Structure 1
Amino acid sequence: MKSKFLSAVRKIISRSILLRLFTSVMFLIAVSATAEEYGDFTYTDNGATITITGYDYNGSGGAVTIPGMINGKPVTSIGTSAFSRRKKLTDITIPDSVTSIGDTAFAFCTGLTSVNLPNSLTSIGDNAFYYCGLTSVKIPDSVTSIGVYSFYHCTELTSVTIGNSVTNIGADAFRYCTDLTSVTIPKSVTSIGDSTFYYCTKLTVITVDASNSSYSSLDGVLFNKSQTTLIQYPPGKAGSYTIPASVTSIEKHAFYYCTKLTDIAIPASTNIREPAFTCCAGLTAITVDAANSSCSSLDGVLFNKSQTTLIQCPSGKAGSYNIPASVTNIGYYAFASCTGLTSVTIPKSVTSIGGKAFSHCISLTGITVDAANSSYSSLDGVLFNKSQTTLIQCPSGKTGSYTIPASVTSIGESAFESCSSLTGVTIGNSVTSIGIVAFRDCKGLTSITIPASVTKIELEAFDGCDKLIGVYFRGNAPSFGFHLFNNARQVTVYYLPGTTGWKPTFADCPTKLWPPDVK
């Protein structure tokens, strides 16, 4: 079930990645008009040097050697998207003349298992080896920069050697390299981007050269030089962990998906104001030193010092949980991915609940709110605002069919997200808006009827509803956000005669008149 949360996280970043890839493709189209051919390669002549701009989709594939010279001129760069999606490629040898590898140069070369990077190379572009089959990489000492997402999702990558001249490792550079077990950061590195080793689930050790002036490591964990900031806990590192007393802050994604972490102790020095341990499936307890001035713990749950804000319930906590009466605020993602949690009781004191507070709690079947609460209410285990005009959260473990109460006018963001066991949802005639990702990953839905009252549906509202076939609209075409039916490829949109605003497609799905036999 962790994969569902991973899917959601991937989608959050997918739009920015797709924008990069789209820009790269547009660049490739722009240069193709002047490109010349050399065997299976296309290239542009820059006057004194050559840039490889493409490789024939129908080329021989296998092991490919890029020429060092064309027409007596050195090949110095591999252009944007030059080899992208050439899935027949298994091995690439790059000549010593090449100094740069462009953005998305080898992206989606899923059969590419080996690449020889020359000692002349100085930069590796963004997304350069995105989604490749590489098993090992040796980045030469000549390279100074590794681009963002450069080795993203190279799931077969077991070994990487980072050269001694690299100063910058881009954000997400090794994200989802799930077979990577260890990595050494050389003394030259001065910048490591956010989430560089995120979801490297077998990574147990990060080692930093002792001479590095910006970073350090201790017990395989990555810190800044002074060890006041914990940057990355290796996702594959198992057991319990005590944060060093020198640490005052934790990077946002430092512990994300550290599924083998069982319990963690936070010293008096460390300030935590947001959920730092999301998706640590094995984590059952968070313990805070009593002398800590910014946060505290109770029954293994993380709070601010006064226990008025519930910051994080550990993902491995199971069964029912009663939120303490002192709590006024439940933080965003506070219970996210608590897959063993079955029920939650919210006291009358709570006045604020952050976004996605109960997302992906796949065993959660009921949320109960104290009747005296002035801000929230519950009905049949579902969370609403006090007046029950906004449906905030249907618990992900709810099964069967569900009828939204007639009082509801708004279905909130993520309200039914990952309710994969729901087979039907009836939306009342008072609902006017459906929030962002409201029904994302409702895998059991095959059809849904949208009443005429709905005038707005936010982006990705039905993303991942892969069994959804028919969406029936009773009124005029509403406004809608991007990727409304993303990853729901079988959808047909039906509309009634006499309604307006309908075109041959709606949100990239075909439209048809409502069949008379469907009520």
Structure 2
Amino acid sequence: MSQPEFWVSWPLPAGVGIRGIEEIIRMQDKPLFIKKQRKLNLARRLLPFILAAVFPAALLLPFFLPAGAGAGELQDAPGAAVAQEPPASAGENLTGVFYDNGSFLKYKAGAAGVTIVACDQGATRINIPDYIEGKPVTNIAREAFSGCRELTEIRLPGMLRTIGYAAFAGCKSLTGIDLPEGLEQVGEHAFWYCDSLREVKIPASLKKFSLNTFAGKGDIRFAVAEDNPVYTCRDGVIYTKDGKTLVRAGIIGSDSFVVPDSVTEISAGAFFHHPLTSITLGPEVKAIGPEAFSGCLQLEEVNLNEGLKSIGDKAFQGCLRLGGIIFNEGLESIGDNAFEGTADLKEIVLPAGLASLGQSAFKGSGLEKADLAGSGLETLPYGTFWDCVGLQDITLGDKIKVIEDSAFRNCTFREITLPAQLRQLKTSFTGCAELESITFPYSLKSMGSGVFAECTALEAVYFEGNMPHRGDGFGTSVPNGVWTRENDSFSGLPLAVAKKLKIYVLTGARGWGDSFKDFADGSGATSRIPFVYPVEYYTLEEEAEQDNPRLILHAPESFAHLETGSTAEALGVIRAGLPAEAGPILWSSSDPSVAAVDDSGRVTALQMGVSTITASLVYKGTLYTGEAEVNAIGLESPLDWSVQRDGTVIINGFREGISEQEMTELEIPRSLGGYTVGAIRSHAFAKNPSIRSVRIPGTVQTIGNNAFYYCALLREVILEEGIRDIGVNAFAGTGLRELVVPQSVTRIQDAAFADCQELQSATIKSGNLEYPLGIGVFRDGQNLKEVTLAEGITATGGYTFAGCTSLESITLPSTLQALNMYDFSGCSNLKTVELQGYLLRQETGIVENYNPFAALNIDFVRGIDNKHIKFDYRESKDLVILHPDDGNDWGGLFNNAVRTGVRIPGGGIRLDGFIPLTSHSDTGGKSYQPVINEINYGTFPVPVQNRTAAIAETAQSSTEASGEKDEDNTAKETAKAATVFEVVRKTVEENPWLSVAAGGMILAVILLGGAGRFRRNRNDQ
């Protein structure tokens, strides 16, 4: 008898058979069965939840991997280059995200390389690989790492060529930067305010960088490669190789510094925010650059040398502790805001050689005493002593003729002596709340609007001379310049003050009467109140004026426009502080051919022009003089004109009744009515059918919008040096044939010379001042063949040469920083565009079909992107873009249909991107067509994606064919895998709603299925 399956060793109860034994066994095994069943049910219930977790993880996986990681691209170690892929196709332009140390880097891959465009703001350490997607990382875009406050360490790629504007600005934790060999350009403010930056290594390849690249730090330890051809570093200071320019100061190991004898220039920002306390200039220093010592909070002492000629803008701005400075006699210019905010500066004496003072030069300083009497200044600029609340003792001297707006704004002095030759006063004393009285010299000819706004303590105003022009007056058309006596020089003066104000006029002065109309209270057109100011006359007592002896001349009103051949009444003379017997008075004319003066002071006009009449006498060995200006006119001017707030004339157009013959040859005079012609009003001569030639003098600062708009017969325009602003459509639609814009011009506005159908040649000169061009400056100039753009132009406005169908070549200046949309649209005959440098400020983010010469890379690669300048290369199949011969792959940046090349000695062109001809093979293995003096457009360039294979075939590489084939197959398989993986990653990245929707649907199906199984299992139990 065989043993039962479950053997029971204990004795059987009485009466129990085999069936009973089986029942007992079944009863004892039931708990084990139930336990197994529960485990199985649990597994079934958990399966849907496990799948629900795995599926989203699989969807999100591509976000956490480097581009191409799914294709087997691995980094062996930090800093290792990503495995290269086959070259991208010509039209490929990818955007991706790369991960390093848990932080992302956004990049854009173009045909010639990769540009890093953004970084995780929370990144702490970043290692930028040399290659991404098989392409070299060559550029870091503007502001790519800006504001990454936690970034302490970064490795830059070895193929890096450019670092954009403010790329690392505000990286306050970054301690060091090793700039790689091969780096060529570093943009402005690239490392601005990197507070923790301590070490910077500058490679030999970096031959030029912005002078404020490292501004904001004075404790950097610089190191410059010994073979750098431009820079060297000595004792912590960077100099040019010849030692003549001090470029940037780092850690110098002392609180004081003596500039070496070899240095002739201190560069912009050289000591920006440096902690030094004392600086002594070497004997050869001629110039201090802008912001050279700006923000040096500890600087107390500055010793200037005798040879110093200029101090740049903001040179010592914010040097709070600078207690004293002695200006050398040879100093010629001080820039804008040069000493703004120097709180401890108490006294200045400006030297005799100083001829130029910038705006707000001493704004907000601690000055208590200022002496300008010995300087050569004729204009006190805008905001010179604004907010100098401690200034009480000021001597201006007699040379200053113009005091600009806000020159003394918010000062607290109670009285001031103005220059004896002052001619023009603007809104100069606003907010001088403690000013009680002021005397204006007889020479004053014009006052601006709101001269005394907020002068709450003003009690008396004295006028020695004839009534000046008052207020703005801009826009007021007054026949022949006769000025209206109702204006707003006193607007802004509190009404309560105006009611008590005394106006005193020296007896003999003309044009005043018993009162005059002006305004009080608010300065706006709706807030000011018309007010009548009574006039009282006074005389000068000799004893009272002995401390200020002088000659005062009262010119007759006819001096403003004295017709040739006529004689004016005699000039009035007052001997202020001089006895009656002092003399005799001698009279003279600065230009006797214009006006003659006799011994009695009577003046006769001889021919058109302006002459200064001078009265002089000697008393006790001292010469005293007085001056008056006479304007001699011929026949009545054909022009309608009026006087502006600054005392200059604006031309409004022709007077009524002028014949067509008188209009034919228009010559704008330099002066009218004794006032300089300073502007031509908008639409002044628009659509005039008679003007054939125009000459505009340099006194004219502004040519208004549409000034000569569609003067169809206008063939010749002569613009003299001195003109600064050419308005919108100023000469649009004229018949100009040749154009020369003088170098004094600093702004050319939109369409200034657009639709000039006969214009063939245009030259824009430049005084090396940076300025942009407006939109469509030469648009639709169908006959324009030759254009010369001088150095200084920084940007175009778009449509600049659009429709210039005859334009064949153009050379862009090296100062050009950015092009714009549609600049060369429709230039169907354009053959060469020569770039002199990199477009470092090229913006991005404009619609992509705005395409600069069909450039391929989407973002910033060598400064060119394809989001600007509509140029359809199909319009000109012969176009060649010439670029700097710097050894870089410029040709790879552009569409295959666009030829690129370099200019060679002798004027020929060497084209990039061509397969070498058999008879002219390049032994260097480069893909060049032979050098040619005349462009041979010949064979079309080989497409970018085929160049590598074509060059390899031409060079007949010795590599075995089988090995090449295996490597090629491997590369192709890797590329395919990478492409598939990249498509998945990009699809998920660009369409996150798809992954969410798909995940939700699958999760719902899984959960519903799991719930059904759960119910069935419970029913089974």
**Structure 2 length as normaliser, TM-score?**
0.29
Q: Which residue of 2 aligns with 1:344?
A: 370
How far did 1:228 drift? 1.5
Q: Is the 8 A contact 1:155 1:176 kept in 2?
A: yes
Are 2:170 and 2:191, in contact at CA under 8 Å, matched by a contact in 1? yes
Q: Which residue of structure 2 lines up, in the alignment, with residue 68 of structure 1?
A: 68
For the aligned residues, what is the CA RMSD? Answer: 5.4
Pick one of 112, 137, 144 that aligns with 1:128: 144
**Equivalent of 1:390, from 426, 432, 436?**
426
User: Is this contact kept in 1: 2:166–2:188, CA < 8 A?
Assistant: yes
State the match for 2:753 in structure 1.
none
Q: Is the 8 A contact 2:221 2:251 kept in 1?
A: no
Identity score, percent? 20
CA displacement 1:139-158 (0-9 Å, x = unmatched): 13222222222212223322
Structure having the larger proportion of residues in helix: 2
1:204 and 2:216 correspond: no
Larger mean Cα displacement after TM superposition, 109-118 or 319-328? 319-328
Distance 1:317 1:100 in 2: 49
Number of residues of Structure 1 aligned to a counterpart in Structure 2: 358
Match of 1:268 in 2: 283
Q: How does 1:15-26 map to 2 (within 5 A)?
A: none
Query: Which residue number corresponds to residue 177 of structure 1?
Result: 194
**Alignment partner, residue 330 of structure 2:** 306
Question: Within the alignment, does 1:151 sit opposite 2:151 as a pair?
Answer: no
Once the two structures are superposed, residues 142-180 of structure 1 have per-residue CA deviations (whole angstroms, 9 ceiling, x without a partner) of 222222222122233222222223232222211222221
Deviation at 1:411, TM superposition (A): 7.8
Report what 1:280 is aligned to: 296
1:46-57 equivalences in 2 (<5 Å): none
* Contact 1:369 1:376 (8 Å CA) reproduced: no
SS in 2 for 1:192: coil
1:106 matched to 2:113? The reply is no
SS of 1:206's partner is: strand
- The answer to whether the 8 Å contact 2:229/2:241 transfers is yes
CA distances 1:80-108 after superposition (whole Å, capped 9, x unpaired):
8x78xxxxx9722689x994225xx217x
State the partner residue of 2:130: 119
Equivalent in 431, 450, 458 of residue 524 of structure 2: 450
Are 1:163 and 2:180 counterparts? yes
Q: Is the 8 A contact 1:185 1:209 kept in 2?
A: yes
Q: Distance in 2 between matches of 1:116 and 1:411?
A: 61
Structure 1's unaligned 5+ residue stretches are 1-38, 41-58, 84-88, 417-421, 434-447, 457-519
SS at match of 1:137: strand
Retained in 1: the 8 A contact 2:266–2:288? no
In the alignment, the residues of structure 2 paired with residue 141 and residue 328 of structure 1 have an alpha-carbon distance, to the nearest angstrom, of: 50
Map Cα deviations across residues 12-67 of structure 1 (whole Å, 9 max, x no partner): xxxxxxxxxxxxxxxxxxxxxxxxxxx99xxxxxxxxxxxxxxxxxx99xx96542
Kept in 1, the 8 Å contact 2:272–2:295? The answer is: yes
What per-residue deviation string (whole Å, max 9, x for no partner) do you get for residues 424-470 of structure 1?
9xxxx95679xxxxxxxxxxxxxx9734499x9xxxxxxxxxxxxxx
Contact kept, 8 Å, 2:266 with 2:289, in 1: the verdict is: no
SS at match of 2:154: strand
Q: How has the CA–CA distance of structure 1 residues 244 and 346 changed in structure 2, closer, same or farther, with 3 Å as cutoff?
A: same
Structure 1 residues 236, 219: CA separation in 2 closer, same or farther (over 3 Å shift)?
closer
1:330, 1:354 within 8 Å by CA — same for their partners in 2?
A: no
Which protein is bigger by CA-based radius of gyration?
A: 2
In structure 2, the CA distance between the partners of 1:409 and 1:334, relative to structure 1 (3 Å rule), is closer
Q: Distance in 2 between the 1:274 and 1:392 partners?
A: 29
**224, 232, 237: which one pairs with 1:221?**
237
For the pair 1:195 / 2:221, whether they are aligned, the reply is no
Which whole-Å deviations, capped at 9, do the CAs of 1:336-362 have from their partners, x for residues lacking one?
577544553443745345756748877
Q: Which runs of 5+ in 2 are unaligned?
A: 1-55, 73-84, 132-136, 312-322, 440-445, 457-469, 475-521, 529-643, 645-1021
Deviations 1:376-418 (A, max 9, x none): 67685499994674135769xx89999xx9x963589xxx9xx
In 1, Cα distance between equivalents of 2:174 and 2:354: 46
Q: Displacement of 1:325 after TM fit?
A: 6.4
- Cα 1:216–1:336 change in 2 (3 A) is farther
Residues 318 and 184 (structure 1), Cα distance of their counterparts in 2 relative to 1, 3 Å cut = same
In structure 1, how many angstroms separate the alpha carbons of the residues matched to 2:288 and 2:380? 13
- Kept in 1, the 8 Å contact 2:280–2:303? The answer is yes
Q: Is the 8 A contact 1:238 1:262 kept in 2?
A: no
Tell me by how many angstroms 1:372 deviates: 4.7
Question: Equivalent residue of 1:261, what SS?
Answer: coil
| TM-score scaled by length of structure 1 | 0.53
Report whether the alignment pairs 1:409 with 2:448.
Answer: yes
Question: Is residue 143–residue 166 contact of structure 1 (8 Å, CA) maintained in 2?
Answer: yes
| Alignment correspondent of 1:91 | 103
Aligned mates of 1:201, 1:399 — CA distance in 2: 40
Shift of 1:208: 0.8
CA apart distance, 1:203: 3.1
Post-superposition offset of 1:250: 2.2
| Conserved 8 A contact 1:265-1:286 | yes
CA spacing shift, 1:229–1:328, aligned 2, 3 Å: closer
Q: 1:239, CA displacement in angstroms?
A: 1.5
- Tell me which of the two structures has the higher relative contact order, counting C-alpha pairs closer than 8 angstroms and 6 or more residues apart: 2
SS, match of residue 231 in structure 1: strand
1:341–1:123: structure 2 CA closer, same or farther, 3 Å change rule? same
- Structure 1 pair 266–236 and aligned structure 2 pair: CA distance change class (3 A): closer
CA spacing shift, 1:147–1:78, aligned 2, 3 Å: farther
The reply to whether residue 140 of structure 1 matches residue 157 of structure 2 is yes
Contact 1:411/1:431 (CA < 8 Å) preserved in 2?
no
- Shift in alpha-carbon separation, 1:226–1:314, aligned structure 2, 3 A: farther
Deviations 1:179-208 (A, max 9, x none): 21221112232221231111x335332221
Instruction: Report the Cα offset of residue 335 of structure 1.
Output: 4.2
Residue among 257, 261, 278 paired with 1:245: 261
